[in-house]
């Protein structure tokens, strides 16, 4: 890291701080030549994994699409936009921290169901009934029983 003042290329780290989000590390540096101080930020670069659909085709992850399916399930339900944002954030963090370069769309479906179960039981049943395409009434009843238990 070059000194921004005198361009000397030897600087010393005098303080390192990892803020609460854990993604950016802040370092205080001191130039060993001119003794001026400056701050650098280090960010972890994480990439969203590519989504592998059931038919084997690949697609980019899109937050808007994820939000779309959540909103559809939550239509007219008493859930705040903030709660939806938090759920989306949690899903994205799971995907990022998986470290995988590719994930099955089924995995994302499971993550969505987990969040919906927490947010709103009706929305969960809506999503699950489409997503899991229940074959008959008994499967549907089973899902409802499962929700009742939690
Ligand atoms: Zn310097």
Band (36; pLDDT cuts 50, 70, 90): very high
Structure tokens at 73: 């399930």
Q: How far is the CA of 10 from the centre of ligand 1 (A)?
A: 8
pLDDT interval class at 114 (50, 70, 90): very high
Q: Which residue is it, tokens 């650098």?
A: 40
Question: What percentage of the chain reaches a pLDDT higher than 70?
Answer: 91
Q: What is the share, in percent, of the chain residues with pLDDT greater than 90?
A: 54
Rounded distance from Cα 29 to ligand 1 centre (Å): 10
Tell me how far the alpha carbon of residue 146 lies from the centroid of ligand 1, in angstroms. 64
Contact status, residue 76 vs residue 19, Cβ threshold 8 Å: no
How many angstroms separate the alpha carbon of residue 36 from the centre of ligand 1? 6
119-143, pLDDT tens digit by residue?
Answer: 999 999 889 888 777 666 777 777 7
pTM for this structure? Answer: 0.65
**For all residues of the chain together, what is the average pLDDT?**
87
Ligand 1 centroid vs 43 CA: distance in angstroms? 24
Angle ∠(124,130,132) on CA atoms, nearest 5:
85
Q: Rounded to a whole number, what is the distance in angstroms from the first to the last CA of the chain?
A: 53
pLDDT attached to residue 75: 93
* Tens-place pLDDT, residues 43-75: 776 788 999 988 999 999 999 999 999 999 999
Å from CA of 13 to ligand 1 middle: 13
Q: Is the pLDDT of residue 20 over 70?
A: no
The environment of the single-atom ion ligand 1, i.e. residues with CB closer than 5 A, is: 3, 5-6, 8, 31, 33-34
User: For the chain, what are the domain ranges?
Assistant: 11-43, 50-149
Dist. CA 4 → ligand 1 center (Å): 7
Give the Å distance between the CA of 9 and the centre of ligand 1. 8
């Amino acid at each position: 890291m070059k000194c921004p003042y005198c361009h000397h290329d030897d600087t010393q780290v005098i303080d390192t701080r990892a803020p609460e989000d854990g993604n950016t590390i802040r370092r205080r540096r001191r130039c060993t030549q001119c003794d001026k101080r400056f701050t650098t930020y280090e960010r972890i670069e994480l990439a969203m994994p590519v989504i592998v659909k059931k038919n084997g085709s690949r697609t980019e992850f899109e937050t808007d699409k994820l939000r779309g399916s959540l909103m559809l399930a939550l239509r007219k339900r008493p859930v705040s936009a903030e709660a939806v944002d938090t759920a989306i954030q949690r899903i994205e963090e799971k995907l990022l921290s998986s470290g995988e370069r590719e994930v099955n769309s089924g995995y994302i479906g499971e993550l969505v169901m987990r969040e919906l179960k927490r947010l709103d039981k009706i929305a969960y049943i809506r999503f699950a009934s489409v997503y899991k395409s229940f074959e008959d009434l008994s499967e549907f009843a089973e899902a409802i029983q499962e929700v009742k238990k939690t």
